[in-house]
Homo-oligomer: A and B are copies of this chain.
């Protein structure tokens, strides 16, 4: 639980921007105090509020899950209804509070989290008229994204960012890959539809494409399998060739992670390796030097030694 000052100040900046956007009221009024509790997580009360919400979200989702089991539903259906309604009332009260507390409520209502908050209380209310709506309660899980705010003091947030950055860096490669897989899927689906035909379960090209995706990703449910020798041969060749192509996502993500983790120092933020940024050139202030650099690669000035090193005897 290291209270890294850089991270804390980043969250502080985030809160300041948010406060300016939503219109944070004066801190000494009741609205100001509630704003700090609801929208920020710096104070003890704010953190407790977030943890309470977290538990309520998990509880209400768990209830939906267990309620789908017929045997459990019979025994505990009433309790589940109560818990669901309690959570819904809590979320509704919270939603109303959020609107009341800010000075520009429409900005909150139309924001990303505002919409999620609204959508997550809707299903239970709608379920009064249309019971099957109750399953939509699972969208409450999206509220768990707020968990990052609660966990903001832990290192998990930064680890998630490394993974996300690797995914974002690789987005174009993955898009190209998915496009290639899509074309292979269409061609393979059509070929298998023609070769195997409806009598072996490949009733249409879309169904054959579903089979192609399941096969290419080596999932292999086995609900549709080639039965003709030619179909089995095509399948074998496709799996082998496709296997080389399907290796790309892992390779792409792995390569991005290798690069990301090399750039962003190491994955275990150990104190010893001096951050490259700690050695700014005294002449041109350029500060992204390699660890093994002795001279600034921009202006040629001798770089200061690493803080953790003693000067080599020269």
Q: Is there contact, CB below 8 Å, between A172 and B159? A: yes
Q: Which of A16-24, A75-83, A200-208 contacts B (4 or more CB under 8 A)?
A: A200-208
- A-B contact list, 25 entries, CB within 8 Å: A61-B186, A65-B206, A70-B203, A135-B193, A135-B194, A138-B187, A163-B248, A163-B252, A206-B233, A210-B232, A213-B240, A214-B236, A217-B239, A221-B225, A251-B254, A277-B292, A277-B309, A285-B294, A286-B298, A288-B292, A289-B297, A295-B295, A295-B297, A295-B298, A300-B302
Q: How far does the alpha carbon of A239 sit from the alpha carbon of B209 in the complex, in Å?
A: 13
Q: Is there contact, CB below 8 Å, between A220 and B214? A: yes
Residues of B within 8 A of A186 (CB): 61, 65, 138, 141
Q: A215-B219, A298-B284, A299-B294 are in contact. Are A243 and B236 (CB under 8 A)?
A: no
Q: How far does the alpha carbon of A298 sit from the alpha carbon of B312 in the complex, in Å?
A: 12
Contact mask for chain A residues 252-296; partner B; CB cutoff 8 A; 1 contact, 0 none: 111111110110001110000000010010111111111111111
Q: Is there contact, CB below 8 Å, between B250 and A251? A: yes
Q: Is there contact, CB below 8 Å, between B257 and A236? A: no
Contact mask for chain A residues 174-198; partner B; CB cutoff 8 A; 1 contact, 0 none: 1111100101001101100110000
Q: How far does the alpha carbon of A155 sit from the alpha carbon of B173 in the complex, in Å?
A: 10
Q: Is there contact, CB below 8 Å, between B135 and A160? A: no
Q: How far does the alpha carbon of A126 sit from the alpha carbon of B296 in the complex, in Å?
A: 66
A57 to chain B, nearest CB (A): 11
Q: How far does the alpha carbon of A281 sit from the alpha carbon of B216 in the complex, in Å?
A: 47
Q: How far does the alpha carbon of A259 sit from the alpha carbon of B266 in the complex, in Å?
A: 9
Q: A64-B190, A135-B193, A292-B287 are in contact. Are A251 and B248 (CB under 8 A)?
A: no
